Amino acid sequence: MTRCAVFGTGSWGTPFAMILADAGCEVSLWGRRKELVDTINATRTNPEYLPGIELPEGITATTDPAVALAGADFAVLAVPSQTLRQNLAAWAPLLGERTVLVSLMKGIELGTVKRMTEVIREVAGVGADRVAVVSGPNLAPEIAKRQPAASVVACADEKVAQRLQQACHTPYFRPYTNTDVIGCELGGAVKNVIGLAVGMADGMGLGDNTKATLMTRGLAEITRLGVALGADPLTFSGLAGMGDLVATCSSPLSRNHTFGVNLGRGMTLEQTIAATKQTAEGVKSCESVLDLARRNGVEMPIVAAVVDVVHNGRPPHAVMKDLMARSAKPERR
């Protein structure tokens, strides 16, 4: 039986643990807070993040990372992206020699502008064949209800991607393999920023034309950055690109979209953070995405506009006006 450790009892870590258990894996779910871990074990529920959902019997929770990692074939990382480096530094000495690390995180590290798999390889000291990523249109509340969804599991080693595919394939969750780790990660990280922009448009009461424009031009920005960093442009037309972008930009279940809606309605950053109980990765990652783009000479005006609103305090309507006033260009650019 495949054994999996899942680090993070939050709104995505717990549903992914459900997927693994439903696929027949033995799952150890690590959590920081003893009271939540005890509740999960005693009631088979996670009332803080998945109220009303019964967890499969194949899941046990623990606060001890050594217990979680004992004999693990896969170590799934589902913590906020900006905390990965510190957390993994503590867990890395406990890893088995063949344990594959799987990133569920969709962010770019501030300062270093490294993708999550780059951080994992650096901190854990492992090769590309032991690091994988899961990315796609995976709104956690829908998956927790076992509604049909698909995703991409990517690893530089196709055989490892296939092993992970088998470990998380269920009647309701269909994973596709890919070896384009860069493209899958960038699609997941940058779509959060575009989701903020579309949410702001919603909050301002703008219509579908505006939102469609932001999504398609946002996809163009994602693709430009991806190609500059060596990704396969076809990745962005698939689940890890367009698929994830559509879900994030159009669903009220999307944390980034909801965060953007509140900003578009005139709430300040502080007010929006106070009203948001869960992590909206795009809020912090928008700065690192823009930094990464500038270091590589890639123009990303929508990302820059989001940074202007979120971190420079400019009103969304003023930023939108500036976007529309930019010089016209051929669509292919």
Q: Which of 191, 211, 277, 329 is catalytic?
A: 191
Instruction: Give yes or no: residues 199 and 235 share one domain.
Output: yes
Residue type for position 230 = G
Q: Are residues 175 and 189 in the same domain?
A: no
Of 146, 162, 179, at which residue does a domain stop? 179
Domain that holds residue 99: 3-179
Query: How many domains are there within the chain?
Result: 2
Q: Are residues 32 and 95 in the same domain?
A: yes
Q: Alpha-carbon torsion 106, 109, 115, 116, what sign?
A: negative
Q: Are residues 202 and 304 in the same domain?
A: yes
Say whether 294 counts as a known binding-site residue: no
Say whether 13 counts as a known binding-site residue: yes
Per-residue tens of pLDDT for the chain, all 333 residues: 999 999 999 999 999 999 999 999 999 999 999 999 999 999 999 999 999 999 999 999 999 999 999 999 999 999 999 999 999 999 999 999 999 999 999 999 999 999 999 999 999 999 999 999 999 999 999 999 999 999 999 999 999 999 999 999 999 999 999 999 999 999 999 999 999 999 999 999 999 999 999 999 999 999 999 999 999 999 999 999 999 999 999 999 999 999 999 999 999 998 998 887 667 889 999 999 999 999 999 999 999 999 999 999 999 999 999 999 998 888 765
Active site residue 191: yes
Residue 58 lies in a domain: yes
Instruction: Tell me the two tokens of residue 87.
Output: 């957390």
With respect to residue 332, please indicate whether it lies within any of the assigned structural domains: no
For residue 216, being part of any structural domain is answered with yes
Residue the block writes with tokens 């305090």: 313
Do 204 and 286 contact (CB within 8 A), yes or no? no
SS (H, E, C) the chain: CCEEEEECCCCCHHHHHHHHHHCCCEEEEECCCHHHHHHHHHHCCECCCECCCCCCCCEEEECCHHHHHCCCCEEEECCCHHHHHHHHHHHHHHCCCCCEEEECCCCECCCCCCEHHHHHHHHHCCCHHHEEEEECCCCHHHHHCCCCEEEEEEECCHHHHHHHHHHCCCCCEEEEEECCHHHHHHHHHHHHHHHHHHHHHHHCCCCHHHHHHHHHHHHHHHHHHHHHCCCCHHHHHCHHHHHHHHHHHHCCCCHHHHHHHHHHCCCCHHHHHHHCCCCCHHHHHHHHHHHHHHHCCCCCHHHHHHHHHHCCCCCHHHHHHHHHCCCCCCCCC
Burial of 85-105, coded b for 16+ CB within 10 Å and e otherwise, reads bebbeebbebbeeebbbbbbb
330 is a domain residue: no
Q: Is residue 220 part of a domain?
A: yes
Instruction: Clarify whether residues 286 and 318 are in a common domain.
Output: yes
For 261-295, give the secondary structure using H, E and C.
HHHHCCCCHHHHHHHCCCCCHHHHHHHHHHHHHHH
Per the listing, tokens 């999550």 go with 116
Whether 80 and 116 map to the same domain: the answer is: yes
Q: How high is the pLDDT of residue 200?
A: 97
Do both 192 and 287 map to the same domain?
Answer: yes
pLDDT of residue 275: 86
Structure confidence at residue 329 (pLDDT) = 81
Q: Does 98 lie in the same domain as 228?
A: no
254 annotated as belonging to a binding site for a ligand: yes
269: domain CATH number?
A: 1.10.1040.10
Task: Decide: 144 and 53 in contact? Cβ < 8 Å.
Answer: yes
136 assigned binding-site residue: yes
Specify whether 164 is located in the same domain as 267.
Answer: no
Is 32 one of the annotated binding-site residues? Answer: yes
In a domain, 10, yes or no: yes
pTM: 0.95
Q: Are residues 167 and 119 in the same domain?
A: yes
195-222 in b/e form (b: 16+ CB < 10 A) is bbbbbbbbbbebeeebbebbbebbbbbb
- Domain identity same for 66 and 154: yes
Residue 332: per-residue pLDDT: 63
End-to-end CA distance of the chain: 49
Give the residue from 71, 58, 51 showing the smallest Cα distance to 25: 58
Of 179, 211, 230, which residue is a domain's last?
A: 179
71 appears as a binding residue in the annotation: no
Q: Which of 179, 198, 223 is where one domain is finished? A: 179
Q: Is 295 annotated as a binding residue?
A: no
In a domain, 329, yes or no: no
Q: Report how far residue 60's alpha carbon sits from residue 235's, in angstroms, rounded to the nearest whole number.
A: 35
CATH number of the domain that residue 28 is part of: 3.40.50.720
Q: Are residues 77 and 114 in the same domain?
A: yes
CA distance 11 to 109: 21
